[in-house]
Amino acid sequence: MLTGKHLVILGGDARQLEVIKKLNELDAQLSLVGFDQLDQHLTGTSKVDLDEIDFSHVDGIILPSSGTNEDGIVETIFSNKIVKITKDWLEKTPEHCSIYSGISTPFLDSLVQECHKELIKLFERDDVAIYNSVPTVEGAIMIVIQNTDITIHQSNVVVLGLGRTGMSVARTFDALGAYVKVGARRPEHIARITEMGLKPFYIKDIEKHIRDVDIIINTVPAKVLSSKVLSHIPGNALIVDLASKPGGTDFRYAEKRGIKALLTPGLPGMVAPKSAGRIIANVLSELLLDKFSGEDE
């Protein structure tokens, strides 16, 4: 249990509601910042402003999945107020106080370094990424159906990257009857693609494998779909870029050529916020329980 532990939850979207519910069940003391317009009554929690919190008694800070922007402002869909994390109040927190976020940003990296705080990036964990690949794939299927006039069955699909999300995407589109090619950089990934019964290619040879493509799904957070590469794909192809911002596509050139290219980070939170929230909540609660049980030993 987290009895007596004071956790501050700063902003976020519908996924945070599952996090609040889970941590509340574990008897944590929760201060919610950026939830003043939330109609749902959350028993056992306190909706507060930042200036109402005594940060010298805060055991953990939970940020939205997106972290902060370049100015330290966090997303708050349940409030019109600006919620900003600052060095001034972060330095007031106890030494053991950690920050939990889906991803980091340059602002966050710099801030935690200055304040000597631990930043836990949940989306870099293998378990979270694998669990999240399920709603990500479902979201990708939804986007493809909404933005094409062909069936996935018998379409030519190229998946870039065989990481935790790429593997799930490739396997699912293959199961739906698409002709799937998968581009990767590492020899062991090429071997795994072959073992999966799919057609592998090295990303350095991408131009040879996209001339007749219908759908490209990118999971690589690097500019793999450059203007030179895009000049070789059909104008009616659809690109779904699942990589974190800014994605791996030259969107300016794609627009110039009339190619529909969509940057879609955060799909789990859009297509299945309850399920995505439960994934975050379960992993976060385990991390907190492990941390504080260790302190008690």
Q: What is the pLDDT of residue 52?
A: 94
Q: What mean pLDDT comes out for the span 73-95?
A: 94
According to DSSP, the β-strands at 215-218 and 199-202 are unpaired
Assess whether pLDDT exceeds 70 at residue 80: yes
Q: Which CATH number among 3.30.559.10, 1.20.210.10, 3.40.50.720, 3.40.50.1000 corresponds to the domain 127-265? A: 3.40.50.720
Q: How far apart are CA 116 and CA 171, in angstroms?
A: 42
Phi, psi torsion values for 193, nearest 5 degrees: -60, -45
CA distances from 84 to 29, 47, 81, 170, 257 (A): 21, 16, 10, 39, 40
- CATH 3.40.50.720-classified regions of the chain: 6-124+272-296, 127-265
Assess whether pLDDT exceeds 50 at residue 84: yes
Over the stretch 125-140, which tens digit does the pLDDT of each residue have? 999 999 999 999 999 9
pLDDT band at 294 (very low <50, low <70, confident <90, very high): low
Contact status, residue 240 vs residue 218, Cβ threshold 8 Å? yes
Over the stretch 254-273, which tens digit does the pLDDT of each residue have? 999 999 999 998 899 889 99
Residues in contact with 83: Cβ distance below 8 Å, sequence separation at least 6, in sequence order: 10, 11, 33, 34, 50, 73, 74, 76
pLDDT band at 280 (very low <50, low <70, confident <90, very high): very high
Q: How far apart are CA 296 and CA 177, in angstroms?
A: 53
CATH number, span 6-124+272-296: 3.40.50.720
Residues in contact with 161: Cβ distance below 8 Å, sequence separation at least 6, in sequence order: 183, 184, 218, 219, 220, 243
Over the stretch 211-229, which tens digit does the pLDDT of each residue have? 999 999 999 999 999 999 9
pLDDT band at 15 (very low <50, low <70, confident <90, very high): very high
For the chain, what is the largest distance between any 2 Cα atoms, rounded to a whole number of angstroms? Answer: 62
Question: What percentage of the chain's residues is helix, strand, coil (to nearest 5)?
Answer: 40, 20, 40
Please state the pTM of the whole predicted model: 0.85
